[in-house]
Amino acid sequence: MQSIFFTVATLNTMVNSWISDLNVTLRSPLGTSVVFHNNERDDGDDIVRIWTSNDFAKLQTLHGEDVRGDWALHIVDKASADVGRLLYWQLDMGVDADTGGVIEDRAEPKIDIPDFNTTGIVSSLQQTQVDTVKDIVVLLDIEHTYIGDLQVELVAPSGISVLLHNSEGGWQDNIKRDYDVETKPDLQRFIGETIKGDW
């Protein structure tokens, strides 16, 4: 069992014109609840914030829990008139060193994708950890006005590759989603691969 020793929760952005209406709670697979925001700041607009277990003591109640399972962000608007949208949230967790580690990395190069060009672009993440892949989740955020034109491929340092997006979606705009071994079974090809190198 892998258990948590460090947690970072990012809520970016909760758009709402009267955030004192809101209650925002994180729930672990075991049912432990951590309240991030509880009807605070009467006249504030929007919540853009990062909570860490170093500076938000309530998150430390999750330390030692099993990371496996469904984690949920529960948001309640307790009043009428003002409305809002959840645009993005992310949960990064470290696990006990004795049982393995979680690598969180992100590339935000904002590279233009050339139109009608089969060469495309490459964005790399360099990993230095000497270990093998136990599990993998890929978060993808691409701005494009016709995603049916796009192919998106993840390539391991060994050269093994998995096609994440293959000209699906037609006229739809943008790809913003995450892929794991359940939603994209081909990612299982990376299990057991060496982490170290350029992905």
Beta-strand ranges (E) seen in 62-109 are 72-77, 84-86, 89-95
Domains defined for the chain, CATH in brackets: 4-99 (2.60.120.260), 126-198 (no CATH)
Q: Whole-number mean pLDDT of the chain?
A: 77
Dig out the tokens for 76 from the structure.
Answer: 């309640």
**pLDDT attached to residue 17:** 45
The Cα–Cα gap between 70 and 112 comes to 35
Residue 23: name the closest of 38, 42, 40 by CA.
38
Dig out the tokens for 163 from the structure.
Answer: 């096609």
76: confidence class by pLDDT, cuts 50, 70, 90: confident
Rounded to an integer, the average pLDDT of 73-102 is 66
What single-letter amino acid sits at 54? N
**pLDDT attached to residue 14:** 42
**pLDDT attached to residue 19:** 57
**pLDDT attached to residue 154:** 92
3-state secondary structure 14-65: EEECCHHHEEEEEECCCCCEEEEEECCCCCCCCEEEEEECCCCHHHHHHCCC
The whole-model pTM stands at: 0.52
